[in-house]
Chains A and B, each alone.
Chain A
Amino acid sequence: MDPRADILPLVLDDVSFEINGMRLIKDLSCTFEAGPRTAIIGPNGAGKSLFLRLCHGLLTPSAGTIRWAGPDGADPVAAQAMVFQRPIMLRRSVAANVDFALKLRNHGKPDRTAIIDEVLGRCGLRRLKDNPARVLSFGEQQKLALARAWALKPQVLFLDEPTASLDPAATHAVEEIVQAIHHEGTRIIMTTHDLGQARRLADEIIFLHRGRMLEHAPTETFFTEPKNDLAQAFVKGELLWWKLGKDNRRAGGYEVDKAPRRRN
């Protein structure tokens, strides 16, 4: 398939996902058009990783539909890639990990060698290329997972906390790589716990809380005047689980103690 296949927009319509009767994603509707970068934020266990897996097609919604509405939307797999929260490394060398992914997309040998050299170089892994991938440090593995996804030149790239265990310099490097991928025309949909990163990298923010999308707004608007109280509390660094645990009220009617403001 042409790596520049056009599968966007991605349309989620009233999507719910449950396991053993627990509803982990609730009534979620949104559309991802080509262009802007999206950051999904929210507390631990909010459902961010599940949300990415649903979009990527690794999970099937229990209710509602997810579809790629673009002209090539019928065959979306080859036009996407994902970097998981815990990098999954094949028991092979660093270079062979990238090579495996490229072979699956039917790249010829000279082509593969050139791409491997380029992405490993830009991710700062060139000197490790013959090392076994599984003995890399966690941060190096994360960079390799990113390099492997980048090598595929997907139209849509899902990133699940791509800098979660990186040092500041590596975080900066990865952010630059994400920017570069964005400039090559790849649609970025990522999660992060780093609000500064969300500001730097994203054009729009989705705020998830307990499986619900409570806010979907341009980055600027979200950080300056979040409409939802929980989003507001989250941005200010308040402990949502503690507050919710205390009086156990539903998200919709929840009020922040310090700055009471009703959701509307």
Chain B
Amino acid sequence: MNDISDAFAAAFAMVAGFDKDLAEIVGLSLEVSLSAVFIAAVIGLPLGAATALFRFPGRKVIIVLLNAFMGLPPVVVGLIVYLLLSRAGPFGVLGLLFTPTAMIIAQVILVTPIIASLTRQVIEDLWREYEEQMRSLGAGPVRSLTALLWDARFSLLTAILAGFGRASAEVGAVMIVGGNIDHATRVMTTAIALEVSRGDLALALGLGLILLVLSTCVNGAAFLIRDAAQKRHA
């Protein structure tokens, strides 16, 4: 019992005092997850919108795959990226294994299907409503697509935040491809796993609290944005 309250006290002290190690870990976590989400959005938004709008060969296959990949187990993704990037693998020469770049690659693979699938659903619904008007006005595919992405921006932001939630919370993939190396590839989730196994509950708890606050803020923001958008645009 004492252990736990001591750990809490130490954790609060660390968070309040901006402990240097703690800040470094939090910083790297944000860097990795934000980069991954940014890249996933750049790929996922147009991909999702295109599958919603256009009929092309292989479209159904892409839709099914994207839906299935929404729930990819992070450890499996980690393993695959590991095999690809390991010295013997096809991209071994790049020397990316156990770097933040490897972690970003793994998270992009995890997050892109989420953003693309949610985008497709949102854009498909909106297109059903807009299609006749767009065709009547003579809007071509590109103009229609950009108009849809813009008009759906609030819903799409929640899709992106959902992707960020997944990226910042997962531990399996970054652990395998990053290796949890101190001052190099250690992020919040891997640090928590490590510190708990080492018995340093204070650092683990401090990180856990930050992660919790972060994910609560992200979800809160998603809710508020949606709510405001719904009030404004019915």
Contacts and interface: CB of A to CB of B under 8 A. Distances in A.
A91 to B, nearest CB: 4
A134 B136 contact: no
B228 to A, nearest CB: 12
Contacts of B130: 88, 90
Interface string A59-81: 00000000000000000011011
A78 B25 CA distance: 57
A154 to B, nearest CB: 10
Nearest to A59: B132
Contacts of B137: 81, 100-101, 104, 152
Nearest to A103: B143
A32 interface: no
Given A132-B233, A134-B233, A134-B234, A88 B139 contact: no
B123 to A, nearest CB: 13
Interface in B141-177: 143, 147, 151-152
B133 A132 contact: no
A104 B139 contact: yes
**Interface residues of chain B: helix, strand, loop or mixed (majority):** helix
A90 B138 contact: no
Nearest to B153: A91
B136 A82 contact: yes
Contact of A135 (B135, B147, B234): B234
A152 B151 CA distance: 22
Given A104-B143, A132-B232, A135-B234, A84 B133 contact: yes
B138 A100 contact: no
Contacts of A56: 136
Contacts of A88: 129-130, 132-133
Nearest to B152: A91
Contact of B138 (A78, A84, A91, A134): A78
A91 B132 contact: no
Ranked nearest first, the 3 interchain pairs of A and B with the lowest CB-CB distance are A88-B133, A77-B138, A91-B151
Interface of A: 53, 56, 58, 77-78, 80-82, 84, 88, 90-92, 100-101, 104-105, 132, 134-135, 152
